[in-house]
Structure 1
């Protein structure tokens, strides 16, 4: 039997030793159900797609916010709309294809038909058959349209919200996140394709992972060995003013400060091995694209989006939840519409860096699963977030867990959990 939420609060602590998170947040159904209500269907903006995925009128994609299925479509006027993927008649899933183009959404169960604005346009046998049956005279099709969500987009990145009172999108994101989106989506893009990764773990473990800058130089052998990211490089770990979102950025060249410094920092780390060599080193060949010289940007946007620039690999990652111990990562890779042939090939080769089997990301899913497996019966125990001082604050380095603490502070705020100060 799940414990009431107020009993959980006793195990959330913040103190001199760091910020502690009870493991039951990753396993207990009470947390999962409450975050669906208070976060995904609450006062937040969730990523649902890119406008470039819907280039034509009538294009649609099926996705989800949390575990609520939604449809994203471009109507006949070119406007982007988002609806719950649920027929207004008997609640059937309306769209089952991942993508397509249509003039109407027709329910397979009883053939109710909705136009691209969500309005109900057709009800078979509404007047009955041979004068018998049919809908009552009071039935008004205008009252049975699809449930529409609020929609806002920034430079072609589409967000939706169930809330009518959530703050405007630009305010929700904050200036630094807005600037990052505008920087990466600075001109029309071309979708390269999707990858999907089903993970047997809790979505919040991945939210921690993407806000954890220093694991990248420890867990990922490819990062360290071939110099894409090492702890000896310059970087920043920033959050927006609310601390909901984080931006992890390597701002210096991929060349380490010195070979001797690298050897000293990584002398006891198994994931640092300069004896490895690539048979095809062209996977690391690329071009400078951005004036700020950044070689890596990991922008985690609360609650379900990660925007990445790793060398010349550009992608968005959307988290879709299924259960306390199951979620999916949907990776959508893109380039720019004006990429020349050489840049297209660079992006294609570097796409091997990411995704479920990516050379620098395949370990992340495994890391989530080994935590989930280990804590399943130890919910009352806690993790410790203390690297960098144990506080959520912006720092000009990458050896910190501050952005993770910022995530948890906001998580507690949305769910109404009050953490206590450790003695």
Structure 2
């Protein structure tokens, strides 16, 4: 890391109250953003980059990002997953410009240096010059100019990469409770249903806070509260892992009988009994998990969201694009043994989420609203004390414990 970045941040002090206060500067400062790229995304973290089903055959590849660094993930001819930085060793051009495809070699568009699916340099045009003139010096060795490779691992169909080679196993990184929920959702072979890409005009951490924030869900989202998919009066809870960085929030529908009036009595904007659905089949689904959980949102630090909202299943990847810009990649899936009816249910319910979803469209706006609100007050802080001041699992969702957990893990990595 450039010493000037850390020097410019030498005056930065986290509020003495700890994780119950979040300085707005972390959403605004270019130097903090640069430090995140080094300490989080290129540090001791496993970064989610895709699903194994997207890379099923030798030669399958997809481009993606770790932080804002472009990468390629591919399956080589022996069937092994590989990943490398999408940057030619010659002059720095991106090597692969396609989103996905199938090939066992990659050729830089600039000067046509070519690499195999392991990232090894295999060809340099005019390496020996023309008619004995020009070309590379005698000591040039292609083996010294391969693409920068990344550490690759998988867990139950999820693909993770890291810039660090001395990472703990993915099982250790996730921990037992986080693995249990992934195993619950990825309990059998899956089938891809589609993608959405969403560009947000706000810092990536504002979105990560949002998906960890169970307090807002039935207040910001009219659809959630009005149609009973998610109310704080329903049974549910928050589970935070020992680091604070990973979490699960869960809800069980139709468990707030006798308590639904809390929303009516409060006269909340988010509860509007006058609204009905023109097509009620939108919410006509099937119970499919034995635990009765109908909504579960899981986050894995620093960039993954695993989602079950009724019968919609998806993973979301958070990609920082600068201090005030974020890309959100949604990947929707079902199970390979779904019948046609179940597949149609999942596709129809996908209208609940995504960039224009009946539930989550507000999430695409609220981060920008916060970003605009804090723009000139980086010395001020947010107040995060709903449900207490600690970082622990709780048997309810009227809490911000998982947000505090995120900032606990964030501060540990950033040394703030």
Say if 1:227 and 1:256, in contact at 8 Å, map to a contact too.
no
| Aligned: 1:402 with 2:401 | yes
Q: Deviations over 1:300-357 (max 9, x none)?
A: 1100010000000000000111110001000000011111000010001000011100
- The Cα shift of 1:365 comes to 1.4
- The Cα shift of 1:59 comes to 1.0
Tell me how large the CA RMSD over aligned residues is.
1.4
* Structure 1 residues 19 and 259: CA distance shift in structure 2, 3 A: closer
Match of 2:240 in 1: 239
Distance 1:260 1:290 in 2: 24
Write the mapping of 1:217-366 to structure 2, written as runs, cut at 5 A.
217-250=218-251, 252-258=252-258, 261-263=261-263, 267-366=266-365
Write the mapping of 1:365-380 to structure 2, written as runs, cut at 5 A.
365-380=364-379
Q: Deviations over 1:346-373 (max 9, x none)?
A: 0010000111001110001111000001
Say if 1:61 and 1:71, in contact at 8 Å, map to a contact too.
yes
Match of 1:112 in 2: 113
Match of 1:182 in 2: 183
- The Cα shift of 1:118 comes to 1.1
> Given the two structures, how large is their TM-score scaled by the length of structure 2?
0.96
Match of 2:165 in 1: 164
2:15 paired residue among 7, 12, 15? 12
Distance 2:259 2:20 in 1: 35
Distance 2:324 2:52 in 1: 31
Distance 2:141 2:358 in 1: 56
Match of 1:421 in 2: none
Aligned residue pairs total 412
Distance 1:157 1:263 in 2: 38
Write the mapping of 1:170-209 to structure 2, written as runs, cut at 5 A.
170-209=171-210
> Given the two structures, how large is their TM-score scaled by the length of structure 1?
0.95
Say if 2:150 and 2:162, in contact at 8 Å, map to a contact too.
yes
Aligned residue for 2:12, secondary structure, equals: helix
Extract unaligned runs of 5+ from structure 2. none
- The Cα shift of 1:100 comes to 1.2
Q: Deviations over 1:67-110 (max 9, x none)?
A: 00010111111111111011111111111111111121100001
Match of 1:98 in 2: 99
Match of 1:420 in 2: none
| Aligned: 1:140 with 2:141 | yes
Q: Deviations over 1:22-74 (max 9, x none)?
A: 10100010110000000000010000100111122111111101100010111
Distance 1:55 1:165 in 2: 27
Extract unaligned runs of 5+ from structure 1. 418-423
- The Cα shift of 1:4 comes to 2.7
| Aligned: 1:67 with 2:50 | no
Aligned residue for 1:172, secondary structure, equals: helix
Bigger RCO of structures 1 and 2 (CA < 8 A, at least 6 apart): 1
Distance 2:248 2:358 in 1: 22
